Amino acid sequence: MLRLSDFDAVTFDVYGTLIDWEPFIVAWLSDWADEFGVKASGEDLIMAFDRARAEIQKERPAHRYPEALRRCFDRISGEFGVAVDLARREAFSKTPHQWPAYSDTSSGLKALQARAQIGALSNIDDASLASSCEKMDIEFDVVVTAQRVGAYKPSWEHFNTALADLAAQGIPPERVLHVGQSLRADITPANKLGLKSAWINRPQRLLGLSGEGAAEARPDLTVESLAELLEAIG
């Protein structure tokens, strides 16, 4: 059983875990599909996005997140046999500033921060994360973005950098709990690094649940919301 008293820091994946991006992306891509005559379900579209971003995030040097989204849009357009609309492409790159927070995010993070350090480990750029932090009404104690480390999770650069930041505060890895919705990007690498982890398996969400060893992910705790996590760990 995980107890908050066993940890001095809780680190979070942000998008999918704290920010509810998936319905927004489905709606946005569905509007695009309707406009350009693409016959695809919402699930088809979100999984096309998931496949595209997983491949693009492996490319080095790493792209800033707006550019990663542009390239995702290019690949999705190609997959469905549609010419790339440049205006839509650019609009898609700016959507992170519109993605909303889950209803339990702000209060949950504030409750945790009153008792432990909290960190954000995110495959995003600094400006987009700043917009999301405003929506969450929170300032993280430790922030590691893809822009900062030049790589995307599940690469270990995020985790190693966060652990180094926390070690500088006297917090060892065994006193860190990592929380994420993505099995691929968060729970699997946390397992490999020996970190305790909690999987927030948000209902009806699909991103990050396949590929890259996701099937072998073994969280120490599984819940469906941040509120449930707080109740479970006390």
pLDDT in tens, 42-58: 999 999 999 999 999 99
Q: Which of 13, 50, 125, 186 is catalytic?
A: 13
What rounded mean pLDDT belongs to the chain?
97
**At the top level of CATH, which class does the domain 21-97 belong to?**
mainly alpha
Q: Which residues contact 231 (CB under 8 A, 6 or more apart)?
A: none
Q: What is the mean pLDDT of residues 217-231?
A: 98
Q: Are 145 and 125 in contact (CB under 8 A)?
A: yes
Cα 115 versus chain centre, distance:
23
CA 77 to each of CA 56, 83, 85, 112: distance values in angstroms, whole numbers, following the listed order: 15, 6, 9, 41
Classify domain 4-20+100-233 at the CATH superfamily level: HAD superfamily/HAD-like (3.40.50.1000)
Q: Read off the pLDDT band of 1 (50, 70, 90).
A: confident
Q: Would the CATH topology of 4-20+100-233 be identical to that of 21-97?
A: no
pLDDT band at 211 (very low <50, low <70, confident <90, very high): confident
**Residue found by looking up tokens 């599984």 in the block:** 222
C-beta separation of 189 from 217 below 8 A: no
CA-closest candidate to residue 173, choices 182, 186, 161: 161
- Give the start-to-end residue ranges of the domains of the chain: 4-20+100-233, 21-97
- What is the residue whose two structure tokens read 């495959």? 123
- pLDDT of 213 reads 84
pLDDT digits (tens, 9 = 90+) for 134-144: 999 999 999 99
Residue 212 scores a pLDDT above 80: no
Q: State mean pLDDT over 99-122.
A: 98
Per-residue pLDDT band at 105 (split at 50, 70, 90): very high
**Please, are residues 197 and 186 in contact by the beta-carbon 8 Å criterion?**
yes
Residue listed under structure tokens 């991006």? 21
Q: What is the mean pLDDT of residues 70-91?
A: 98
CB atoms inside a 10 Å sphere around CB 82: 16
The answer for residues whose C-beta is within 8 angstroms of residue 8's C-beta and 6 or more apart is 116, 117, 166, 171, 175, 176
Residue 10 has pLDDT above 80, yes or no: yes
pLDDT computed for residue 146 by the predictor: 97
Dump pLDDT digits (tens) for 199-209.
999 999 999 99
Instruction: Check if 13 is active-site.
Output: yes
Residue (of 124, 72, 130, 132) closest to 99 by Cα position: 132
So what's the pLDDT on residue 15? 98
